[in-house]
Amino acid sequence: EDQVTQSPEALRLQEGESSSLNCSYTVSGLRGLFWYRQDPGKGPEFLFTLYSAGEEKEKERLKATLTKKESFLHITAPKPEDSATYLCAVHYGGATNKLIFGTGTLLAVQP
């Protein structure tokens, strides 16, 4: 069964304490893996798209990497404003543009 699993479900960090979020997937024919940030009461905000194993993307304190089975979102020296739910989604083979989402990691960064 095609599936996307994110871990941990929740993560609490001190400001400046770097860490990583994990997204593992079991789909055939991956066409893209996406990371989104979602703040309470808002829609998901697009962060990155990764297409192939070995690819990396960076934006400010965030860096996303991709292997054949999983993706990591590395957060370097986080700030309280990085607190949010981080969602991973995959787009896999087929004619439709269907995304399968994970349940997200709720990140809290304390000052």
Partner 1 sequence: SAVISQKPSRDICQRGTSLTIQCQVDSQVTMMFWYRQQPGQSLTLIATANQGSEATYESGFVIDKFPISRPNLTFSTLTVSNMSPEDSSIYLCSVEKNRGEETQYFGPGTRLLVL
Rule CB under 8 A: which residues touch partner 1?
A: 4, 31-32, 34, 36, 41-46, 49, 87, 89, 91, 96-99, 101-104
3-state secondary structure of 80: helix
Nearer to partner 1, 59 or 98 (CB): 98
Contact between residue 104 and residue 7 where contact means Cβ atoms under 8 Å apart: no
User: What dihedral angle (degrees, nearest 10) is formed by the CA atoms of 63, 67, 70, 76?
Assistant: -20
CB of residue 63 to partner 1, shortest distance in Å? 18
CB of residue 110 to partner 1, shortest distance in Å? 23
